[in-house]
Structure 1
Amino acid sequence: MTKQRIGIWIIGAWGGVSTTAAIGLLSLQKGLTGTSGLVSEHPYFEKLDLVGWDQVVIGGHEIRETSFVEAAKHFSETSGVFHPALLQAVEPELNEFDKNVKPGTLIHVGDTIRSLAGDSVKQYDQESLQDTLARLSADMTEFQKQHDLAHVVVVNLASTEPPVEESAKALSLAELKEQLASAETSPVPASALYAIAAMNAGCSHLNFTPSAGTDLPALIELAEEKQILHGGRDGKTGETLMKSVLAPMFAHRNLNVMSWVGHNIFGNLDGKVLDDPVNKSNKVHSKDHLLTEILGYKPQTLVSIEYIESMGDWKTAWDHIHFKGFLDTKMSLQFTWQGTDSVLAAPLVLDMVRFTEREWRRGNRSGVMTHLSSFFKSPMQATTPEFERQYQQLEEWANTVSEE
C-alpha cells in the first residue's frame, strides 16, 4: 500500500510530552535534529518502510488554555530545554498545530485535573455523556478529513487519573453501553471515554499513561468489534526501564533481592497532579508490580513520587537495591537516573505511532499490539515483563512484516 499522510491526535495536546513530540517532529521534518532516542530510526527497522516524518500532522484534545508555543516557552524557562533558535524555527508550524486542538472533557477526571481546566472546556459541563462522545469522535473525524489523512493514531498523554472503579473491570461491552447512558451512571474515567470516541472514529489508540484507557474487558471487546488496533499502558522511560533491565540480572544470577527502594522527584505538571494521593496511587502501582513478575517473589519494596516544583521537567530517580549473595552475604547496588521526563518520553510516542501505522497499513487492524510491550510499564496482554525479551518481540514483529 502506498504511504499517505497520517495524523497523531493527542489527548493532553499542550502538555510537556506532547509539546516535546510536536517540536521533535517538526525538527525532524526540517532536519534540525538527529535521531538519537528514536527506536524506529534504528537501522534494524529500515526494512519496514515506515511512514516518513514529513507525512505526519498533529492535533488533539486539551482541557487547559495555552498553546504549543506558550507551553514550549514555559518548558524552556523552567527546565532549560529547547534552544530559542529551535523554537523560533518551528513556531509557525506549532501555530498551525494549535488550530487542530479542541476542548476535551472533564467527565470523571478527578478534582485535581479539573482544577487545571479553562473556561473553553467548562462550557461543556452540562453536555450529556453521549453528546460528549459524539463531539470528541467528530473532532477526530474532522481532523482526518481536513488534512486528508489515511489514518489517525490517538495517543493518551493526559495527566494520570484516579484509579478506575473496580466495578468497571467486570463489565461486558453490553453492560458498559447501558451504563454510558449518562455521566452519573458511567463507571469509566475520561481516558476510557476518549478511547471509545477514538474507536467510533476508526482511529488506532495508544495509552502512554497509567490511566485506564482501553485496558478494560469491555473496551478490549469494543476494539475487536470495531476492528481497532490499540496498546498500553504507561510509558516506560526511566526508573522502571532500569528495573526491567536489572531485575532479570538478579534473577538469572540467583541473587536474592531482599528490598528495592525507589525515590522519584520532579516538578512538571504531571508531578503536580501526582501530588494528589489518589492520582499518585495509580502511578505507584504501575511502577511497583514489575519486580514480583520478574523475580518470581515479592521483595520488600517502596516507591515514592514527590513533587518538587523547582525541578521542572528534570526527574531524578534514586534506587537502593539490597540483595543477598553466596554465603548469605548481604550486598547492595545503587543507581541514580536523571533526565527530562518529556524528552525521554516524546520520541517513544513518535516511534509507537510509526509502528502502529505500519501494522495498520499491513492490513492487521484489530487487537492489542503486544509487539509494543517494551514501550510500557504495564503492557496489555504481555507475555513477559523483561525488557530484553519484550524488545525481541518487536524485532520478531519487524521480521514478519518485512517478509510479507
Structure 2
Amino acid sequence: MTTTHHVRTGVWFVGARGSVATTAVAGCAALAVGLHPATGLVTETAPFADCGLPPLSSLVFGGHDTADFPLPKRAEQLASGGVLPHGLPSAVAAELAAADAEIRAGGPLPGDTRDDESLIDAFAADISDFVHRLGLARAVVVNVASTEPLPGPDDPRLPASSLYAAAALRAGCSYVNFTPSTGLRTPALEAATEAAGLPHAGRDGKTGQTLLRSVLAPMFVQRALDVRAWSGSNVLGGGDGAALADPAAAAAKNAGKNRVLADTLGTVPEGEVHIDDVPALGDWKTAWDHIAFDGFLGTRMVLQTIWQGCDSALAAPLVLDLARLIARAHEAGLSGPLPELGFYFKDPDAGPASLADQHTALLAFAARLRGIR
C-alpha cells in the first residue's frame, strides 16, 4: 500500500481542553509552519523519515472534555505561565479555534442518568461524526485526561477512561492511553478489544521521573551494584497536581513509577514515591530521587537526582509521536497491543523496561513500518 500525504488524520483527545492537549495542538501548528524546531519529537528524527507517518500538517484535532473553557484562552493561560512561547497562541489562533470547534461534551457528569452503553454510543457517535464529516482517513483516540482512581473490584460501572476506550473501538479508531487510568485494561473490554482488530498502546506516558529511572536502574544492574532503597518525591501544580492530590489517583500513578524498578531490578527496593500538589507551581514539576546502594565490600553509597520540568511540554511531543505511529500502524493493518511503543510508557503493554532497549525496539518498529507499503 502506498502512503499518500494529501489525506488527513484525526487526533481525538480525551481531555481535549487540558494542558497537554492544548500544548500538542498549538505545538503541532507551530511546527507545521516552521515557527519552531521539532525539539523533543522523536518521529521527526532521521530513523523515522521514510516510515510513511502522517505529516504534522495533515493532523486534525478534536476531542471530548467535561470543561467548556475555550482552547485559545487555555493557550493564552499556558503562555502566561511560560509553558507556551510568548505570542504563540495568537500566531496559531486559527488552528486553536478549529480544534476548539471540534470538542464535544464529555462525561459522565454528576446527575447523568445514562448507562454505560448509552455513554459509549454517544461518545462513539461524536468520534465517527468527526471522522466522516471532515473526510479523515482515520483517527486515533488519545487519552490525556486527568488520572482517575483505580476502580474497585465490585464497581458496577466502567470508569470513564474505559467508556472512552470502548467508544474508540466502536468508532473503528486506534487508541492510546497516555494516563495511568484503566482504559482498555479491564476484563469487561477484553472481548471487544480482540474483536475490533485495532492497534492500541499504553499506559501512562513516561515524561520525567520514570524516564530517568528507566535509564538509571539498568546502570545499577549492569554494574552489579545492589540497590537497597529508592525513594522519590514530586511537587507539582496544574490539573495533574490537583488530580493526584486524591490518594487513590496517586496510587494509580505510583504503580507505573514502581513498575520500571520491579522489571529492571527484579524486586522493588524499600522506599516510596510521594506526590504533593502545590498549585502555585502551575504546570511545572520538581522530582527528587534518593537511591541508596551498596558497592564493593558492602560500601554504602548514595545517588541523588533532581528533575525540574514542564509536564505539558514534556508530554505534548510524545503524544504527537504516538498519534502518528499508531495511525501509521492502523493504516498498515497492524492490530492489538504494540509493545514496541513501550519507549513512551511507564506501564507498557510488554517488553523491556530499560530505555535503551525500548529505543532499540522502537527503531526496529520504524524499520518494520518502512517495509510496509
Q: Which residue of 2 aligns with 1:86?
A: 88
Q: Which residue of 2 aligns with 1:250?
A: 220
* Aligned amino acid, residue 64 of structure 2: H
1:329, CA displacement in angstroms?
Answer: 0.3
Which of 356, 362, 367 is the matching residue for 2:336?
367
Q: Distance in 2 between matches of 1:197 and 1:297?
A: 37
Q: Which residue of 1 aligns with 2:107?
A: 105
Please tell me whether the aligned partners of residues 47 and 402 of structure 1 are also in contact (alpha carbons under 8 angstroms): yes
1:30 maps to 2:17: no
Aligned residues: 369
- Tell me, which stretches of 5 or more residues in structure 1 are unaligned? 107-120, 169-184
Q: Distance in 2 between matches of 1:33 and 1:254?
A: 43
Q: Which residue of 2 aligns with 1:111?
A: none
Please tell me whether the aligned partners of residues 223 and 230 of structure 1 are also in contact (alpha carbons under 8 angstroms): no
Secondary structure of the structure 2 residue equivalent to 1:82: coil
Q: Distance in 2 between matches of 1:80 and 1:28?
A: 18
Q: Which residue of 1 aligns with 2:359?
A: 391
Q: Which residue of 1 aligns with 2:346?
A: 377
* Aligned amino acid, residue 15 of structure 1: G
1:167, CA displacement in angstroms?
Answer: 5.4
* Aligned amino acid, residue 7 of structure 1: G
Q: Distance in 2 between matches of 1:343 and 1:401?
A: 27
Q: Which residue of 2 aligns with 1:56?
A: 59
Query: 1:144-181 deviations in whole A, cap 9, x for unaligned?
Result: 0111100000000010011123358xxxxxxxxxxxxx
Q: Which residue of 2 aligns with 1:163?
A: 150
The percentage of counterpart residues that share the same residue type is 41
- Tell me, which stretches of 5 or more residues in structure 2 are unaligned? none
Please tell me whether the aligned partners of residues 79 and 89 of structure 2 are also in contact (alpha carbons under 8 angstroms): no
Q: Which residue of 2 aligns with 1:39?
A: 42
Secondary structure of the structure 1 residue equivalent to 2:48: helix
Q: Distance in 2 between matches of 1:274 and 1:146?
A: 37
Q: Distance in 1 between matches of 2:154 and 2:345?
A: 25
Q: Which residue of 1 aligns with 2:3?
A: 2
1:221, CA displacement in angstroms?
Answer: 2.9
Please tell me whether the aligned partners of residues 220 and 367 of structure 1 are also in contact (alpha carbons under 8 angstroms): no
Q: Distance in 2 between matches of 1:359 and 1:96?
A: 26
| Equivalences for residues 1-400 of structure 1 within 5 A | 1-3=2-4, 4-77=7-80, 79-106=81-108, 125-166=112-153, 185-186=156-157, 188-364=158-334, 366-380=335-349, 382-400=350-368
Please tell me whether the aligned partners of residues 340 and 351 of structure 2 are also in contact (alpha carbons under 8 angstroms): no
**Runs of 4+ with deviation above 4 angstroms:** none
Q: Which residue of 2 aligns with 1:117?
A: none
1:278, CA displacement in angstroms?
Answer: 1.8
* Aligned amino acid, residue 365 of structure 2: W
Query: 1:69-128 deviations in whole A, cap 9, x for unaligned?
Result: 121122223x3232332111111221111110001112xxxxxxxxxxxxxx56x71233
Q: Distance in 2 between matches of 1:82 and 1:39?
A: 19
Secondary structure of the structure 1 residue equivalent to 2:227: strand
Query: 1:4-58 deviations in whole A, cap 9, x for unaligned?
Result: 2100000000001000000011101221110110010110111212111111100
Please tell me whether the aligned partners of residues 215 and 232 of structure 1 are also in contact (alpha carbons under 8 angstroms): no
Secondary structure of the structure 1 residue equivalent to 2:359: helix
> When the two structures are superposed, what TM-score results if normalisation uses the length of structure 2?
0.96
Q: Distance in 1 between matches of 2:142 and 2:34?
A: 24
* Aligned amino acid, residue 397 of structure 1: F
Secondary structure of the structure 2 residue equivalent to 1:54: helix
Q: Distance in 2 between matches of 1:216 and 1:276?
A: 22
1:399, CA displacement in angstroms?
Answer: 1.6
Q: Distance in 1 between matches of 2:86 and 2:310?
A: 17
1:219, CA displacement in angstroms?
Answer: 2.4
